[in-house]
Amino acid sequence: MSILQAIRIFLFYLLLGTSSVLWCSLSFFIAPFLPFAKRYRFINVYWCRCALFLARTILGINYKVTGAENVPQVPCVILSNHQSTWETFFLSAYFSPLSQVLKRELLYMPFFGWAMAMLRPIAIDRKNPKEALRQVASQGDELLKQGTWVLIFPEGTRVPHGQIGKFSRGGTALAVNAGLPVLPIAHNAGKFWPREGWGKRPGTIEIVIGEPMYAEGSGPRAIAELNDRAQAWNEATQRAMGSLPPLAQKPEQQSA
């Protein structure tokens, strides 16, 4: 990493942290008196746009969206791969209002966590997975009925660029039980904003929004099939953008 890039990264985090403290402090006095949709926009959309602006102007990290026409009019369950913090900023600003599944501990963070608590997140205890699944199902269903997008990272944690984790079925189960589709999203944010460390690389992040996917039937089998289909789409899309290595050819294909 060059000295200039290190300075840019330091300046980015300095401005991001300062804006977070100032904006969250202001939100405590204004947001509680706003209806939820406007509260979400005031707290999350504006600040996440600020984060994206800082990333673009200071770090040189831009983005390109493909498939925006696939976003349905009615909010549903968003399934996205998870590589960095960047996609959290982007998705929170792009879909409004939005609730996401996150670790309960994040709500205890000064300023940022306190503001997040006002946005109806699905804050789970990862040490109790069974209870977490029940919470996602009940709270997520209620949010969807209220017209709120529900963002789920089915890999469960951030996965390094160049890899893909196994998708859990919580998101597809929520969608199937609510009678709604899942909206698949794939991106390569980890290429420029790595999962670990402070290093950042300038470049253009690709975000691909796929067509909504509906379950074929109901029940556990339909949930599993939809989940497999969503993961297969994400994997194929990441391969197409060069984020995953190409599939090895079979011997008969190599000799053809």
Q: What is the pLDDT of residue 21?
A: 86
Q: What is the CATH number of domain 3-244?
A: 3.40.1130
Q: Where are the domains of the chain?
A: 3-244
Main-chain phi, psi angles of 44, to 5 degrees: -95, -50
Query: Which long-range contacts does 20-27 make (Cβ < 8 Å, 24+ apart)?
Result: 20/47, 20/111, 20/112, 21/111, 23/47, 23/50, 23/115, 24/111, 24/112, 24/114, 24/115, 25/111, 27/115, 27/118
The residue among 184, 239, 195, 243 whose CA lies nearest residue 66 is: 184
Question: What are the pLDDT digits (tens) for 20-49?
Answer: 888 888 888 888 889 989 999 998 899 999
For residue 206, give the amino acid letter: E
Report d(CA 1, CA 42) in Å as an integer: 36
For 220-233, how does the pLDDT look when each residue is reduced to its tens digit (9 = 90+)?
Answer: 999 999 999 999 99
pTM metric for this prediction: 0.90
